[in-house]
Each structure stands twice: as C-alpha cells, then as structure tokens.
Structure 1
Amino acid sequence: MINRGNLIALRKIEDQRFLETHKKSGELFAIAKDSMPNGVPMSWMSKWPGAYPVFVAEAKGASFVDVDGNTYIDFCLGDTGSMTGHSPEATVAAIREQVGRGLSVMLPTKDAADVSTELTKRFGVPLWQFTVSATDANRHVIRYSRLITKKSKIIVIDRCYHGSVDETFATLDASGKTVSREGNIGAPIELDKTTRVVPFNDLDAMKKALQKNDVAAILMEPAMTNVGIVLPVEGYLKAVEKLAREFGAKLIIDETHTISVGPGGMTAQLGLQPDFLTIGKAIGGGFPTGAFGMSAEIAKEIKSQVELEVIDTGGVGGTLAANALSLAAMRATLTKVLTEENFEKMIKLGTRWADGVEKVIEKYKLPWSVNRLGARAEYMFSAKSPTTGREAADAGDFELEQYIHLRMLNDGFLITPFHNMALISPDTTAADVDAHTQAFDKMCGELIG
C-alpha cells in the first residue's frame, strides 16, 4: 500500500523541514558531540529521526517547547515516566517542600508508610519496598525468587522489555532456542544459562518451560508494550498464574507501563494475584523511582533466610533507594494526580485517539490495526492485531516508522519512540487528540499518493 519511492521523496522533504525549523538544536548538537558520544546523553537517543535530536527548553502538562521555540503536543510523555503530564502541580509542590527538609537520609519518612499503604489499596499486594527504578525492582525480585525457590532459571516473554535486567535480553531463534537478543551489549553469559523464553499467549510453551522444575520466577507484563501493544487473550493471565503455583515458580507482574488501564493496573482490573508486582516511572510523576510489592508469605520467607547481620550485602537495595524526595513525589502523584477521576478522563481520550486513527486507516484502506490499553493506544503495520511479541516485531517497518515520527515531529506531535504509541495525560485535551487525527489523516493521504 505504501509507495516506497514516494516515501523516500517525502522523507527528503521532512529532513529539510527539520533542518530549517531546528537550527538552535543543531547548534547545541554540534557542541554536544565534543563531550558526549553521538552528541546525546543516552546512546538510544541517537535513534530519534532527524539529523539530530530536538533539545527541549521546557515541558509542562501535555506539551513541551524546544530551544527553537517550537511547541509540541506530547503523546510520548517520557514513555510513561510523565504519564501524569509534565511537572504536575501537586508533585512539584511536594518535591519543593521536601527539598528544603532533606533529600536522602537513609531512614524512613512518613511518606514511605503512606505510599506503601496507597499501593496496597490499588494493587492488592500487601507489602512494599522501594528502589530507584523499575529495572532495580525487577532485578531485586528475581534475586528474591531464586533465594526462596532455590531454583536458577527465570522465564520471560519473547520480545519483552523489563529495563536493563541482564536475564531479560533474550529471544527465540528460528529453532526455538533461547539466545541473546540482537543489540544485547556485553551479556555476561549465554542467556540460556539463566533464562527460558516463551511466546506471549502460548500456555503450552509456558507449561513446557516449567516442566523441568528449575524455574524460580516468571517475569512478564500483563500486556506487552515495548514491542508494540500485544494484549492477552481471555483467560491467559489467570492460567499462567495457576501454572506458576503448580510448578512452584514465583509470578512477577511488571505494571510499569500497563498502569495505563487504571489506578491499579491490569492486576486490579483482572483480579490477578502475583507473588511480586513491580512498577516505576509514572508513580513518581516523572521523578526517578520504583517499587516492588510482595505477598505476606514471600516476606516471611525472605525474613527467614536473610540474616540481619548481612542484610545490607545481598545485592538488593541501594544508597538512594527509598530516598525522602522520591517518596514525597510518589505520595503526591498517587494521591493527587493518578486518581480515579483523572484516569477516567485519560482513558476516554485514549479511546478518542484510537478511534480517530482507526477511521483514517479505514479511510485509506491501509493494512494496519489499532490496539488499546486504557490511556495508551497504538497503530501497528499489520492487518490483524498481533498476539505474540514475534508477530509484533515482524510487523515493524523501520523506514516507515522513522518517516512517521519525523513527519509528526515536524507537524508538532511527539509519539513514543521506535513504535507508534500514544499516551494520554490528565492535561491532554480533546483538541490535542483531534489535531493529531487531522495531521495523521493528511500524512496517510500523502503516503499512499
């Protein structure tokens, strides 16, 4: 459906438009290359389309302004980190107040009890610990699972993403063998030593992976998000929960992105009962933080096996984990920003965004599909919504994605990098959503022209 020659010509137009409207970003990029590899503070930022990354001057609510004065409607929102909108007033006020009272003292504050109580209410998981990121939370609960079960392997989903946890950067090769994923830098050992990979929505594969009785934990998102949105088929997650119990593996549910469905994520929505739950990003309103919850039984097991004398040397925790500033941010964000009322609005607009994109796809008879996950939605380059991570990955089209991201950026919209996902914040408006639909319509019309 896409005329590739036309796509190349359109990309040249957008490349030139970018250069003409982002001159100050170009100047900063030239300076940045002297002190940062590829001129960026994080290597993956090199993948943004355009001659160089856009340098941001200010972000507030559902938009941001770059150093050239261009304003953007932000549907990326820090890839969930700013799902609350940029710098929500309640979170900013709490951070400002706490800054004057201490940043990190290696002792608990009242906010720690308040935040853990709120998380219990939302997710139904009774006991909580705090980290600096969701990556840390995932890493810690894997270690605890191995401690408790005395088993070595973990199971992850093919094409998953759980932060920079070594054991999770695995995939399946053509023969079905667990191997290191492409781009996995400096893997410490071959991944099949620590990990088994199974496709999403495949209960037979999950059961087979558990049958050697050497699996400590199953780590999974309740819906895949980082390879594109892949939704669970009905009954799949509860069946995985049952298999985990049957084979003595701990079930870890990572809600870092899937909290987009509501205050308690898919765990509350579907009545899941994981052994551990991990989360980060959004619950701090964009401030770096993470948390993991556990059942009372898990906490009792850990306490019985970790001696107080060496509790600080087990590879779990960190000097800045549970710092006072992050807990103040979480308390304000959870109680005043990520509320039932705001989720109702966000989900309604997420549906509006998806409906608008879907109508354009139908208008131009494009073989694409749209998936929805509460306040999150995405269009994918396949006529049928993928049910596995592999199907989602195979539906990717890097050349087309790069053009779409650059075109939308030039038109004043930022969507989640490296796939076509939008996230709605409490500050996003119907006008923002409709403006995107109009720009998307114009772009698609030109793509097939």
Structure 2
Amino acid sequence: MPTAPDRDRLTSLLRSEQERFVRDHPRSRELADRAAGSLLAGVPMPWMTRWPGAFPVFVESAEGAGFVDVDGHTYVDLCLGDTGAMTGHTLPAVAEALTAQARRGLTTMLPSEDAAWVGEELTRRFGLPLWQLAMTATDANRFVLRFARMITGRPKVAVMDWCYHGTVDETLAVLDGDRVVARPGAMGPQVDVALTTRVVPFNDVAALDAALAHGDVACLLMEPALTNIGIVLPDEGYLDAVREVTRRHGVLLVMDETHTLCAGPGGATRAWGLDPDLLVVGKPIGGGVPVAAYGMSADVGARVDPYLRGHEADVGGVGGTLTGSALALAATRATLSHALREEDFAVAVPLAERFAAGVAGVIEEAGLPWHVQRLGCRAEYWFCPPPRTGADAAAAVDDELEELMHLWALNRGVLLTPFHNMALFSPAHTVADVDRHTEVFAGAVEALLDR
C-alpha cells in the first residue's frame, strides 16, 4: 500500500530545516532586516515573500543555470525567474545588445529597426501575421481582452477555473459550485467578477459549450495546458473541441503561451498545431528584460487596425509610454536570435525528461501516491495522482509538505519555483544538475518516511 508521510515528523523536519536556513544565511538575514525598514513586506515585489524560509535569499550574481547568494552559497536554479530567465541567466547576446543599445538611446516612443525584425520572427514562430508589443504578459492579456470586447460588442470573457493570466482583474475568478467568485487571495476586486467573467473547468467541453451559449462572451482566454496551478495537460482531442465550440459561438480564442512556451520555439500552438485567433507570449522572449507580445489573425487585425490609427489611440486603454522601447526590442531580437530555438529545446527537453524519470523513480520506490508531470522543458511533481482540472489541482495542495520539500532543496543548493514544485530547464543546465536534484529529492523522501 502507498505510504503517507507522518505529519508530526513532517513538522519536526520543517522546523529543523527552517533553523538551518537561518543559520546558513546571516548576510541575507541582515539585508532582509534592513529592507523591512523601507519596503512593504520587506521586498520590492509581493511574490518574493513566497519563498521558503524566514526571509528571501538575496542574490549576488546569476549566470547560466545557477546563481550565488550574498552568503557565498551557489545554487542550481530550477526556477529561472519563474520563466523570466528561461534562456539561462546573463545570456551573452542579450548583455551585448543591451550595452550597445544603451549607448544609442533607450526609449523615444518611436520604433527602431529591431521592431520589424521582431514582428517577422514572431510571425515565423507562432504563425499569426500581426503583432504588438507590451511590457508584461499581464498587460498583453489586458489589452487582448479590451480588443475582444470592442470588436465583438460582447461584455464578458471566459477563463478556465483556477487559471492565472497575470494580475488581470477579470481572470482572478474561480467556480464555487455554479457561482463565479473572486479567486481566494484576490485583493480589492474593482467589480464582482460574476459581472465580467464566465468560468469553466479545464478539460470539460460540455461546460464550455454551455457557458458560451449565453452569447455574451467576447473571448476565451486560456493556456493550452494549465501551468499556474501546476501542469494540467489537455485530454486527447480537448483543444480541437475548444476550437470548434468557440467558433460555433462566435467567440475569439486567445492562447496565453507565457509559460507553455516551454513546449518549443513556437509554444504549444506550433507544437500541437493549434489555431488561435490571438496569442500572448511573455517574459522569456526578452531574456530577462520586461517585454511581452500579442499576435492576432489577419481577420482580427483588420477589425482592430482602424482603432489603432484613430486620434484617440493613446487613451484607449492599450499601450504604455515605455512599451516597444528600443531597449526591449533590442533584447527581444537578441534573445530570439540566440535562444529559445530548436537546438536549445533539443538540449533542455531531455533534461526535463531526465528530471521527471528521476523523481518518478524515487516516488515509485517509496510507494508514495505522488506523480510527476512534464511539458516540454518544464516538469513538476504532485502529492497526488495527476489532476484533470484546476480545481482538482488546487484541492491537492499541501502547503506544509510543499514548504519542506522546497526548503530542503534550497538548503542543499537547489532552487525550485516557489509556486508548486516546478523545475524549468535551459540549455545551460547539465545532467549533473538534474541528478543533484534527484539526489536531494530522494533524501527528503527518505527523511520523511524515516528510512
């Protein structure tokens, strides 16, 4: 029979790991105490509070697949800035492009020569003919929702239950039975999300059909596979059915590939032969520089174009003074020229496969009812069988166990993404990096089961 960790032992191990973390990071603690005097929650951005341990590790430098903290500890980085550094840290071509562009000017609110190259490359990779830039995928998603409502004349959007598309008000919604409610933790929603959003379970075609049949949904915004509640893969034929249902109801289909870009150079859209009306891709394409992009079909572009050429384009809720800057475009051109290519995924994906196999082997040997899931060069493990919906995934979260596994790894030089148990691989990672995680993971399981 599968073995479950003893909760008292789990609590005791977690306490020991917390003490070890504090003992091993005196300089990070000093900086954390200093930052608490001027920064809200002691960090420059709220998500930085999500790391395990009493305070965040402060970074001295990052390069390739690792980083060094201010206490001199080195780490295998399996987070990579939650995909922001999916290319690996300090990509030389990006560093050189940024240095050169800084000497020529960073932002003028005018296009640079790189703009045309970036648009053409995005078209080549993803297949959609027309593109615009944004600062973040959150912005890109927000802009796409505005366009969809404008050209369809419909007020609502649809999303998947327990999705995440950045800090977009309409998408911070989940199902509570048959009711649409704000996602737990959503702060100060400006309106009741039931007025703006219809929510459907992932992998449920009938529920999607029923939701869109109301005739008030402008677009369905979704990931090809859920990633921000953990990796939940689509059932066979599900995405084809989604395309048929959205077309039948006159609903625009938007694919958010910010995280599913891990599936390949053109994301899951290219890898799986998808046909969205609009597509969003975010942080990885800038090599660490804030930038995102959204593309659209020729038909959608023809309907949107007149609004962008009008006198009031600057107050339409789409744009931003620093968006499409020369700096962002230089970084994007350098990144897409030297990274996130077929040859890069040919290195990174096998590493993720090795990670998944190593973790699965430990789980099987221990007799635990856990599971490891993979999508391209991204992989993560669950403390349950593989879920089919976001709600199933959310219900399986074990905060205390997750904290122990993350802190155990961190204390031994391996950084996982603080949200779930995700590992991301770049061409800079090595087999030794993967095997180090497997060794650390096995040690945590042995300690949990007292073997």
Matched, 1:47 2:55: no
Partner of 1:222: 224
SS in 1 for 2:28: helix
CA distance in 2, matches of 1:305, 1:82: 34
The CA deviation string for residues 253-278 of structure 1, in whole angstroms up to 9 with x for no partner, is 00000010100010001111111100
**Equivalent residue number for residue 347 of structure 1:** 349
Matches within 5 A, 1:106-117: 106-117=109-120
The counterpart of 1:148, out of the listed 148, 151, 158, is: 151
- The structure-2 alpha-carbon separation of the partners of 1:20 and 1:197, relative to structure 1 and needing over 3 Å to count, comes to same
Contact 2:307–2:313 (CA under 8 A) maintained in structure 1: no
- TM-score, normalised with respect to structure 2: 0.98
8 A contact 1:130–1:290 mirrored in 2: yes
Q: Deviations over 1:206-260 (max 9, x none)?
A: 0000001110010000000010000001111111111111111111000000010
Taking only the aligned residue pairs, the percentage that are identical comes to 53
Which amino acid letter does the alignment assign opposite residue 406 of structure 1? L
Task: Tell me the residue number matched to 1:273.
Answer: 275
Q: Match for residue 445 of structure 2?
A: 444
Q: 1:270-349 residue pairs with structure 2 within 5 A? A: 270-305=272-307, 308-349=310-351
Q: Which residue of 2 aligns with 1:73?
A: 76
SS of corresponding position for 1:172: strand
1:424 aligns with 2:396: no
Supply the distance in 2 between the matched residues of 1:295 and 1:124 (Cα, whole angstroms).
Answer: 9
> CA offset at residue 162 of structure 1?
0.4
**Distance (whole Å) between structure 1 residues aligned to residue 273 and residue 233 of structure 2:** 16
One-letter identity of the residue aligned with 1:329: A
Q: TM-score, normalised by structure 1?
A: 0.98
Q: Offset at 1:47? A: 2.3
Distance in 2 between residues matched to 1:136 and 1:42, nearest whole Å: 17
**Partner SS for 1:371:** strand
In 1: Cα distance, 2:318 partner to 2:54 partner: 41
Check whether the contact 1:401–1:418 (CA below 8 A) recurs between aligned residues: no
1:259 alignment counterpart: 261
Structure 2 distance, partners of 1:151, 1:307, is 22
1:284-339 deviation line (CA, Å, top 9, x unaligned): 01110010001111111112455621122111100000001111111111111111
CA distance in 2, matches of 1:55, 1:270: 39
Equivalent residues of 1:154, 1:216 under 8 A apart: yes
1:27-66 map, 5 Å: 27-66=30-69
Correspondence 1:86 to 2:97:
no
Of 130, 134, 137, the match for 1:127: 130
**Which residue in the other structure is 1:364 paired with?**
366
One-letter code aligned to 1:421: M
Structure 1, gaps ≥5 residues long: none
2:190 equivalent in structure 1:
188
Would the aligned equivalents of 1:90 and 1:337 in 2 still touch at CA under 8 Å? no
Q: The residue matched to 2:170 in structure 1 has which SS?
A: helix
CA distance in 1, matches of 2:421, 2:207: 29
SS at match of 1:302: helix
- Residue of structure 1 aligned with 2:245, choices 243, 246, 252: 243
SS at match of 1:52: coil
**Worse-matched range after superposition: 44-53 or 108-117:** 44-53
Structure 2 Cα separation of the partners of residues 17 and 402 of structure 1: 14
What is the one-letter code of the residue matched to 1:151?
R
- Please name the residue that 2:6 is paired with: 3
Cα 1:94–1:348 shift into 2, 3 Å = same
Distance (whole Å) between structure 2 residues aligned to residue 14 and residue 397 of structure 1: 17
| Residues 350 and 424 in structure 1, CA contact (< 8 A), matched pair in contact too | yes
Deviation string for 1:56-97 (max 9, x for gaps)? 110111000100001000000000000100111111111111
Q: In structure 2, do the counterparts of structure 1 residues 146 and 67 end up closer, same or farther at CA, with 3 Å as the change threshold?
A: same
Kept in 1, the 8 Å contact 2:358–2:435? The answer is: yes
1:44 deviation in Å? 2.5
Q: Distance in 1 between matches of 2:405 and 2:117?
A: 43
Equivalent residue of 2:244, what SS?
Answer: helix
CA distance in 2, matches of 1:430, 1:303: 48
1:212 to 211, 214, 218: 214
Q: Deviations over 1:332-366 (max 9, x none)?
A: 11111111111110001010111100000001011
Residues 104, 324 of structure 1: 8 Å contact kept: yes
- The runs of 5 or more residues in structure 2 that have no matched partner are none
Q: Contact between 2:52 and 2:418, CA under 8 Å: does it hold in 1?
A: no
Distance 1:264 1:418 in 2: 25
How large is the Cα RMSD of the aligned pairs?
A: 0.9
- Structure 1 CA distance for aligned equivalents of residues 309 and 53 of structure 2: 54
Partner amino acid, structure 2, of 1:135: T
Q: Which amino acid aligns with 1:412?
A: G
* 3-state SS in 2 of match to 1:308: coil
Distance 1:264 1:306, change over 3 A: closer
Which amino acid is 1:244 matched to?
T
Deviations 1:356-384 (A, max 9, x none): 000000010111011110100010011x2
Alignment match, 1:373 = 375
Cα distance in structure 2, aligned partners of 1:150 and 1:18: 54
